[in-house]
C-alpha cells in the first residue's frame, strides 16, 4: 500500500470555495493552490484549470508524489473540518466544498494531442 493518498496514477483533491470580503476564493487543499474571482463560479473554474495544469505537469515530468500530497494551510484545513461538521459560523461564507477525482485530469494528460 502506498503511503501517499495521491499518486501520478490516481488520487483526489479536496476543495473549498468561500467568500472573504468581496472576493471569492477556491482552494485545492492537497496541492496548496488558491485561485480568486469575482464570482464563486469564476473562482472554481480557475481552480479546476489550475489543478488540471498542475497534475498534467506533474505527470509530464514524472514528479514525486509528495507534490500531490502537500499539507494544507491550517486555516483551510479548519474550514474543511467546519464544513464536515456543518459549523454554521464558517458555513455562511462557504459556497461549496467537495472532493475532485484527479483521474479525470490524469486521463486527459495521458491523451495524445
Decide if 17 contacts 33 (C-beta within 8 A).
no
What's the mean pLDDT in 106-110? 48
Confidence band, pLDDT 50/70/90 cuts, at residue 5: confident
What tens digit of pLDDT does each residue of 21-39 get?
999 999 999 999 999 999 9
Q: What is the pLDDT of residue 110?
A: 41
Q: How far is CA 39 from CA 21, 25, 32, 98, in A?
A: 12, 9, 20, 18
Confidence band, pLDDT 50/70/90 cuts, at residue 100: confident
Amino acid at each position: 500500500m502506498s503511503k501517499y493518498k495521491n499518486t501520478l496514477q490516481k488520487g483526489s483533491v479536496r476543495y473549498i470555495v468561500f467568500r472573504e470580503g468581496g472576493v471569492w476564493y477556491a482552494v485545492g487543499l492537497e496541492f496548496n493552490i488558491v485561485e480568486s474571482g469575482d464570482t464563486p463560479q469564476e473562482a472554481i473554474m480557475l481552480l479546476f484549470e489550475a489543478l488540471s495544469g498542475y497534475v498534467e505537469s506533474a505527470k509530464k515530468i514524472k514528479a514525486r508524489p509528495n507534490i500531490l500530497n502537500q499539507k494544507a494551510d491550517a486555516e483551510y484545513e479548519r474550514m474543511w473540518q467546519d464544513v464536515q461538521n456543518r459549523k454554521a459560523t464558517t458555513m455562511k461564507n462557504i459556497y461549496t466544498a467537495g472532493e475532485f477525482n484527479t483521474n479525470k485530469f490524469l486521463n486527459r494528460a495521458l491523451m495524445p494531442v
